[in-house]
Amino acid sequence: MTSRILILGASGQLGQALLAEVGLLPATIRSLFDFIPRQALDLTDRTALKSCLQKHSPAIIINACAYTAVDNAEQHIALAWRLNQQLTAELSQYAKASGAALLHFSTDYVFNGLNQRPYTETDRPAPLNQYGKSKLAGEQAMLDIAPAGLIIRTSWLYSEFGHNFARSIWNKIQQGEALRVVNDQTGSPTYARELAACCLKLVTADNFAKRFASTQLMHCAGSGQASWYQFALEILRLSGRHVTIAAVSSQQWPTRAQRPAYSALSSARLQQQFGLSLPAWQHSLARCIEKMGLSE
């Protein structure tokens, strides 16, 4: 493999996870990657984006950029749609025209939460909030333009990097803070490092562009499911500390954006077609918490 791979959004949570996992690859493969952090490229500037793409001339683009502040997206609608839909369309158009392949990430929040079983790729999306709507529109733009590439939907991303639920709960536990956590929303907690490692296996294979000659959609999330409350209890158990965590309902913890009550994802298609899957979320969380503890 000699083609270059460009990662956009290298300073975000998923971008940092990708950077960490690329660092574990053999030097000959590591040398193929170019990382563009958010501060180095104004993603609202179409001219700057086009210039960046032409400069690096990647064979594969990994788009780790997104507007992920779910509640803020209800107020900053234009920016959320710019980063989640329009940017995806522009990257898809560039990939289609240049012959590059695109790996793009989406979310479980494209669903309305009425399922009683993990969502599959064939389930009908019906997002409840602007974040989910803008991410679904990004998916649709890529599917319509149909460059070589893959859309990966994931769920409840967390890691030792950036701002996320696991880090927030961990830090509050370390401070001895009593917590109230929602217990009526269920999803598939996904460790960003393991998602990144899985995606890198796909894009560094010699036949990535041929395997995904026209855009495909797959789910990749941690195995199993949990409520935010169950997730927090497991973080507490792994911390070895003693603080109170009270379960509350979504009505007792109102947020600006409505969230699906159930958004666990089935990653069976990825497992069946490529033999790839992520571990049980409890196992993955233990790995992440260990890294958080070492970084204290």
**Domains of the chain by start residue, with CATH:** 5-161+190-223+264-279 (3.40.50.720)
63 with 103: CB under 8 angstroms?
A: yes
Phi, psi values for residue 153, rounded to 5°: -90, 135
Catalytic residue among 67, 131, 158, 229: 131
**Which pair of tokens denotes residue 289?**
């918490």
CA distance 75 to 71: 8
Cα of 53 vs its chain's centroid, Å: 22
Work out the number of other CB atoms within 10 angstroms of the CB of residue 176. 10
- Give the residue among 61, 80, 64, 110 at the shortest CA–CA distance from 215: 61
DSSP-derived pairing of the beta strands 5-8 and 60-63: parallel
CA distance 212 to 235: 37
Q: Note down pLDDT in tens along the chain; length 296 residues.
A: 457 999 999 888 999 999 999 999 999 999 999 999 888 888 888 999 999 999 999 999 999 999 999 999 999 999 999 999 999 999 999 999 999 999 999 999 999 999 989 999 999 999 999 999 999 999 999 999 999 999 999 999 999 998 899 999 999 999 999 999 999 999 999 999 999 999 999 999 878 888 898 899 999 999 999 999 999 999 999 998 889 999 999 988 888 999 999 999 999 999 999 999 999 999 999 999 998 875 44
109 noted as active-site residue? no
269 with 140: CB under 8 angstroms?
A: no
